[in-house]
Chains A and B, each alone.
Chain A
Amino acid sequence: NAGVTQTPKFQVLKTGQSMTLQCAQDMNHNSMYWYRQDPGMGLRLIYYSASEGTTDKGEVPNGYNVSRLNKREFSLRLESAAPSQTSVYFCASMSHLEQPQHFGDGTRLSIL
């Protein structure tokens, strides 16, 4: 069982470039999430999708867009990358209303 798969694992971008981070889960979960992890800040929710076809903003949505492509896939897009978006990004999924959330292994993104 793969669980939650994120691609790519590492990426370096220049300021102003765009990029899409991909996430797929094979657990038939309804809910999917995107977080960013920064030192001393914990995990902060960027966007989430409670079910296919719906998305909602989290705590830090500015500068990001998301697409819930189907039940399995939830992508995160940076339209014009900024150095402040240098972070480790985690995707997670959860069965509807049933904790816990299951996390992927992250995408390490550096923006120069």
Chain B
Amino acid sequence: QQQVKQSPQSLIVQKGGISIINCAYENTAFDYFPWYQQFPGKGPALLIAIRPDVSEKKEGRFTISFNKSAKQFSLHIMDSQPGDSATYFCAASKHGAQKLVFGQGTRLTINP
């Protein structure tokens, strides 16, 4: 039962462009939405996270946009750089819950 659906599976963007990855969730009880970044041979690491009381959160070149009514959230990477090439996972959890539900992942390649 896939509760968080992520798209696209892979994405190629030119250096300096905007990378956009989308996620949709089903469970309206979810109230924590993180994005994890994973480089080859490494474990995922938290990149940025949002709670549903705000519609957008920005940290440097990375922005999460959140649409509660549509049950969707997305990651925008501005001025994408080759060093951003990695696999990105969205996830969701409920307040007080021990578990995260992950999306399928997006392999992002930034061409120089």
**Interface residues, chain A, with chain B CB atoms under 8 Å away:** 4, 31, 33, 40-45, 48, 50, 58, 90, 92, 94, 97, 99-106
Contact = CB atoms under 8 A, between A and B. Distances in A.
B22 interface: no
A97 B96 contact: yes
Contacts, number: 53
Contacts of A45: 99-100
B100 A101 contact: yes
A68 to B, nearest CB: 13
Contact of A31 (B9, B36, B98): B98
Interface residues of B, number: 22
Nearest to A41: B104
Q: Is the interface of A mostly helix, strand, loop or mixed?
A: strand
Interface in B58-75: none
Interface of B: 6, 9, 32, 34, 36, 41-46, 49, 89, 93, 96, 98-100, 102-105
A99 B6 contact: no
B34 A104 contact: no
Contacts of B99: 33, 45, 48, 58
B95 to A, nearest CB: 9
Contacts of A33: 99
A110 B96 CA distance: 35
